[in-house]
């Protein structure tokens, strides 16, 4: 077989998945015509303000790797985007990072005010679990499988995952951190939800224990690559491309891999983690191609 014959078109794959996800998000989040409408508007504003839909696409790609079709995966894909978006809304609040812009657009609290932004974050987090258990959306998934996926999601989003990582990050702001602390923050703040996205896709897609384990390892490494690359981009990036001030983390003296280890060592680390991630995908052969291509893209992206 000539590898060129099935050269995987990542751009096309990502675009197709992104459109499916955004259609589902649009369909499953409809503001009611009552006085609670502002919170829906704020939720939808942030949810539809762009973004690469990395987490939902990872759910789909992991599910595809174990031969699942989208109907088993899409509610969880959207749920993870709701959780990711809630975390952005709350992170941007004045009491947190105090950011006015996100993806080049005014942040939720700049448009709707702090009160509604807090509630919109709360609403999105809760809505994730509504999506996961809505009987109209999930009636084909074995309930025990669903419950396992919800546990992975809650665990990765909560105090043992993203919330814990965010807390640690805020605690260490402006302080000297060592490599272990940095690893703790990175694996929890961003890595946990990325890894969970992949595991959840594997679980809901009906993967074997071996497949779920392999994809989980892939996800853990991918999460680290993602965060390390973010740190590199934050130092090297171009303000216009990113839509946020370059070096803002550095200005606030937040710990990052490049600050701690230097740029070249950090780049080397990212390459090693990428290789480890790719090795976990071998058993999936061509069904793992989307995840392979995504991992390479995450490691090599310039924004």
Site string for a copy of itself, 73-102 (x = CB under 8 A): -------------x---x--x-xx------
CA 159 – CA 179 distance, rounded (Å): 21
Instruction: Check if the beta carbon of residue 37 is closer than 8 Å to that of residue 31.
Output: yes
Place of tokens 């990212």: 270
Output the smallest distance, CB 132 to a copy of itself, in A.
8
- The yes or no reply on residue 115 touching a copy of itself (CB under 8 A) is yes
Q: Nearest-CA neighbor of 256 among 194, 176, 196, 191? A: 176
- Using the contact rule CB under 8 A, the part of the chain among 14-22, 35-43, 245-253, 295-303 near a copy of itself is 35-43
Residues 210-249 that bind a copy of itself (CB under 8 A): none
By CB neighbour count within 10 A (0-12 exposed, 13-18 middle, 19+ buried), where does 98 fall?
exposed
User: Which string of x and - marks every residue 129-168 that binds a copy of itself (by CB under 8 A)?
Assistant: xx-xxxx--x---xxx-xxx-xx-xxx-xxxx--xxxxxx
Choose, by CB under 8 A, the member of 118, 215, 277, 278 that binds a copy of itself.
Answer: 118
Q: State the Cα–Cα distance between residues 236 and 258, nearest whole angstrom.
A: 10
Binding status of residue 194 toward a copy of itself by CB under 8 A: no
- Contacting residue, 14, 58, 77, 125, with a copy of itself by CB under 8 A: 125
Which of 10, 170, 242, 263 forms a contact with a copy of itself (CB under 8 A)? 170
Among positions 28, 45, 72, 127, the unique one binding a copy of itself when judged by CB under 8 A: 127
CB 80 within 8 A of CB 196: yes
Q: Closest by alpha carbon to 125, among 170, 187, 80?
A: 80
What is the rounded distance in angstroms from the CA atom of residue 159 to the CA atom of residue 150? 15
Measured CA distances, 144 to 76, 148, 154, 235, 283 (Å)? 15, 6, 15, 44, 26
Instruction: Note whether 86 and 247 are within 8 A (CB).
Output: no
Instruction: Kindly tell me which of 44 and 229 has the beta carbon lying closer to a copy of itself.
Output: 44
- Closest approach, Cβ 139 to a copy of itself, in A, equals 10
Residues that bind a copy of itself (CB under 8 A): 32, 34-36, 38-40, 43, 86, 90, 93, 95-96, 113-116, 118-119, 121-123, 125-127, 129-130, 132-135, 138, 142-144, 146-148, 150-151, 153-155, 157-160, 163-168, 170-172, 181, 184-185, 188
């Amino acid at each position: 077989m000539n590898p060129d014959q099935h050269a995987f078109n990542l751009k096309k794959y990502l675009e197709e998945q992104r459109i499916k996800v955004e259609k589902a998000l649009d369909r499953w989040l409809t503001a009611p015509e009552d006085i609670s409408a502002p919170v829906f508007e704020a939720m939808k504003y942030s949810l539809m303000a762009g973004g690469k839909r990395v987490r939902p696409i990872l759910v789909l790609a992991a599910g595809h790797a174990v031969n699942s079709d989208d109907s088993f995966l899409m509610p969880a894909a959207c749920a993870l985007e709701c959780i990711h978006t809630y975390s952005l809304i709350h992170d941007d609040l004045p009491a947190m990072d105090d950011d006015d812009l996100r993806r080049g657009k005014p942040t939720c609290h700049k448009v709707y005010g702090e009160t509604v932004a807090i509630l919109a974050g709360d609403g999105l987090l809760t809505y994730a679990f509504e999506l996961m258990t809505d009987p109209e959306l999930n009636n084909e998934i074995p309930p025990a499988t669903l419950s396992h996926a919800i546990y992975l999601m809650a665990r990765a989003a909560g105090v043992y995952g993203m919330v814990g990582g965010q807390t640690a990050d805020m605690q260490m702001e402006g302080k000297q951190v060592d490599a272990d602390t940095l690893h703790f923050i990175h694996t929890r703040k961003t890595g946990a939800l990325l890894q969970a996205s992949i595991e959840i896709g594997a679980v809901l897609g009906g993967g074997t224990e071996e497949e779920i384990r392999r994809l989980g390892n892939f996800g853990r490494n991918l999460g680290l690559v993602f965060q390390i690359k973010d740190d590199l981009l934050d130092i090297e990036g171009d303000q216009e491309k990113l839509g946020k001030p370059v070096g803002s983390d550095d200005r606030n003296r937040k710990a990052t891999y490049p600050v701690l280890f230097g740029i070249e060592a950090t780049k080397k680390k990212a390459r090693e983690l990428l290789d480890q991630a790719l090795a976990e995908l071998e058993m999936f052969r061509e069904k793992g191609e989307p995840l392979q291509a995504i991992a390479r893209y995450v490691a090599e992206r310039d924004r």
